[in-house]
Chain A
Amino acid sequence: MRIHVCLFSRLAYLAIFLGGLSGFWAPVAECVAAADYPTKPVQIVVAFAPGGSSDQVSRLLATYLSKKWGQPVNVVNKPGGGGVVGTAAVAQASPDGYMVNNGQVNTLAFAPAAQKNNPYNWDSFTYLARIGVTPSVLTVNANSPYKTVKELVEAVKKDPAKFKTGVSGLAGTGAFGIAQLLQSAGVDPAKVDMVSFNGGVLVITNLAGGHVDFVAQQLPEVLEMVRAGRLRALMHTNAVRLKELPDVPTSKEAGFPAYSVMAASGYVGPPNLPKEVVSKWETSIANALKDVEFAASLKKVGLIADYQNARDYRAWTEEQYKSAQHLAVSLGLKK
């Protein structure tokens, strides 16, 4: 009998405890009205390991936003699967704006376009704002006989099987940039051997070591090696000439406008985010880019500030997705 009483009282305690818990949470859940967003800490999910561009930019922005919003903004790294894992986690997050993702063109547009069974599509997100872009630079080893894009392309046309190119994953900006160039020059991209490395650093290392012949990597990755005379930049995808590399032509000037791939960094959240959350992010990022100190540190990590509001960023990503679908076919990733 005593045992029964004891058990009963324990159950009662448990019930009170659980009741208390739900009573505690219920108002919080209602309170997540978006009007005075954010009312609690915000998480920026970076789908890559610490140290990359996505991580650096997000940490700088998090420091800035924490100050402006009076709420902690934290960066959480969820690396793996070439960025797909962390991005998928945000696509499935609850639509309150407290978990957003640093979206890259690779994860938002290229992965859904090129990979079978990708867990999300390009439109599985609420687009918030684009913060900046990084041009792609067509680069060869400094010892390479090819001094201009035309010389390189002519040689590749003559004997595509002789050439090897290095990329970081077959569904990334590097591979798509090379496919754009080769297709527009009338060479089947599948005829040139693409050696895929685990990260841009290894692509550059192998180009500098002479193990591959040409690459299309992002500006910050190649800049110092080009300046030091170990690598030679042939053209880049920025709209105008770059201050960092004033002698290198844009792809339009070089006569290959089809080579246009750009890496982009922006912020997206799960679908159906409240309007207030979207406009808060739009204005905050626009203001951040006007902040002298923030803009200066952004430049140091190699991102060219290029703001787009939610609508333009979404439209731009859709465009990237569509062109990536064609490129994926030409690379033999999809049929």
Chain B
Amino acid sequence: MIYYCFIGVFIGTLVGVLPGIGATVSIAILTPITLGLGPTAAIIMLAGIYYGAMYGGSTTAILVNIPGEAASVATALDGYQMARQGQAGPALGISAISSFLAGTLSLVLLMTLAVPLASYALRFGPPEYFSLMVLGLTIVVSLVGKSMVKGLLAGIFGMILATIGMEPLTGQSRFTFNSVDLMAGIDFVAVVVGLFAIPEVLENMEGSVLEVYKARLKNLFPSCEDLRRTGSPMIRSAFIGFFIGVLPGSSGAVAAFMAYNVEKNISKHPERFGAGAIEGVAASEGANNAAVSGAMVPLLSLGIPVSPPMAVLIGAFMIHGLRPGPMLFNNNPEFVWALIASMYVGNVILLILNLPLVGLWAQLIRVPYPYLAPGIMVLCFLGAYGIRNSFFDVAVAFAMGIVGYVMRKLDYPAAPVVLALILSPMLEDALRQSLTISKGSINIFITRPISLTLLILAAISVFLSIYSRRKGSKATAAFVEEDNT
């Protein structure tokens, strides 16, 4: 069993490194191949791919600023800055340790809370999702960078991009100009690659390309100081990631951004976030791994797949003759517990597999940038093509690369675009569904207790972000004088 778990985690880490070819596709491709194995071995291997891929995505995010999937965007914000400062080792190390710790902690939550939490997930109807998405969008405020106006404009740009394609309710096309490709909408991987990785390469080539990364790798592993600083963020991120992961329709990305936002808001030095704060990496990585365990709650207790990789996994269950549903715990307890046990083992394997690799990956940035840059570009476009096998997405990545470069020159932040692009389709769905249910009355958002609570949290989040921004800008003034990072 451990052998299959190892194979799964190993494959997952490999495909996670490639943007665009994520967990969903690899599980789907490998499912028919596992027909020869027993159901338990097969599912353990496929689940291994899932969390391996969740981890693998952070490697490219940290080293070369290519977040392979939405969940690693928040990791890239600080991870890549750390890599440029010669801190690639600690960044990768912390991301492995945080994934392990938060992953394990969230499994304990899964074992103890799965049954009561299943009904909590069901209480989330459209109005609750709407308020959750509003809360998610308030994170834009803490991602805006130097200018609030520019950051908000970037967020709106993301929302506008999200409206392209088929409208969710009746299926009529919006802004598609009769192009079949545009009907599918703008895929966010193409946008992420375009806005993050390509402008980075272009900008690096303007100056002396040999000094993109500080040549000397300071240290390979996180120091005691790093561990001390990231201890509580890891634990907090486990809880945030787990509870967001439980909700059907949300995603690891939402969890990662929320955990990142919380850390930034409670930090004494919020200005360090975005400039290489190790807590940011720990929070984002921990949360997206914990979200995987969270997503197992509705899958195992109700048979509801929360995310696309989970949907593929449920298909694999069925092909192997297991019927995921409310009765799975009763009918196949040995299977359920073997799966949960394998997730513990999988997390340990991830750690064992990746800590030694940290040294190897970190060496990658010693490759002279003139050789590295074309490789990054190839990886970007390959990833864009891999999303749904279409050259249209490659063209989108290319166009977004140019847009991203111009935005960077004019000091517009890229993260709000991506966040808004991920959240607004869900926001729109939930808003229209809620208003259908309430026959047009917006009171539905404040008369339902969970929804109201989330809206209040959203208000607090905006307030805290603005407050920590004020605090941050005062601190920066003092900070800049002593240290130029």
Contact = CB atoms under 8 A, between A and B. Distances in A.
**Chain B CB within 10 A, most for which of A52, A119, A224:** A224
A65 to B, nearest CB: 12
Contacts of B25: 50, 77
B348 to A, nearest CB: 28
Interface in A217-251: 220, 223-225, 227-230
Nearest to A81: B183
B321 interface: yes
Interface in B145-160: none
Interface string A94-133: 0000000000000000010011110100000000000000
Given A80-B388, A205-B122, A51 B327 contact: no
Category for how many chain B residues contact A:
35 or more
Contacts, number: 171
Contacts of B166: 80-82, 84
Interface in B16-46: 24-25, 27-28, 31-32, 35
Bin chain A's interface residue count.
35 or more
A110 to B, nearest CB: 9
Contacts of B171: 81-82, 84, 111, 114-115, 169-171
Contact of B319 (A204, A211, A300): A300
Interface string B185-212: 1000000000000000000000000000
B24 A49 contact: yes
Contact of B303 (A55, A114, A198, A225): A225
Contact of B390 (A78, A164, A302): A78
A49 B310 CA distance: 12
Contact of A49 (B248, B311, B326): B311
Nearest to B425: A198
Given A171-B170, A297-B319, A76 B389 contact: yes
B485 interface: no
Contacts of B31: 59
A80 B439 contact: no
Contacts of A196: 168-170, 432-433, 436
A62 B35 CA distance: 14
Contacts of B388: 77-80
B165 interface: yes
A164 B324 CA distance: 27
Contacts of B321: 300
A212 B122 CA distance: 12
Nearest to A46: B28
Nearest to A207: B122
Contacts of B122: 205, 208-210
B229 interface: no
Contacts of A201: 248, 304-305, 311
A7 interface: no
Interface in A296-311: 297, 300-302
A158 B121 CA distance: 33
Interface stretch (B123-131, B352-360, B468-476): B123-131
A82 B315 CA distance: 20
A153 interface: no
B324 A224 contact: yes
Given A51-B305, A81-B166, A206 B125 contact: yes
B170 A170 contact: yes
A59 B28 contact: yes
Given A227-B327, A228-B326, A50 B308 contact: yes
B304 A51 contact: no
Nearest to A53: B315
B318 interface: yes
A263 interface: no
A195 B184 contact: no
B81 interface: no
Contacts of A329: none
A78 to B, nearest CB: 5
A127 B47 CA distance: 37
B24 A84 contact: no
Interface in A72-88: 75-82, 84-85, 88
B108 interface: no
A62 B326 CA distance: 31
B183 A85 contact: yes
A166 B57 CA distance: 36
Interface string A166-183: 000111000000000000
Given A55-B315, A224-B327, A209 B125 contact: yes
A300 B315 CA distance: 9
Interface stretch (B172-180, B374-382, B402-410): B172-180
A51 B324 CA distance: 14
Contacts of A195: 126, 433, 436-437
Given A196-B170, A230-B326, A297-B35, 9 more contacts: A52-B315, A59-B31, A78-B388, A80-B165, A89-B180, A169-B169, A169-B171, A208-B122, A228-B325
29 contacts: A50-B25, A51-B313, A52-B315, A56-B318, A80-B183, A81-B171, A82-B166, A82-B171, A84-B171, A84-B180, A117-B173, A161-B439, A164-B437, A170-B171, A194-B436, A196-B168, A197-B433, A198-B249, A198-B429, A202-B249, A205-B298, A209-B122, A224-B303, A225-B325, A225-B326, A228-B326, A228-B327, A302-B318, A333-B170
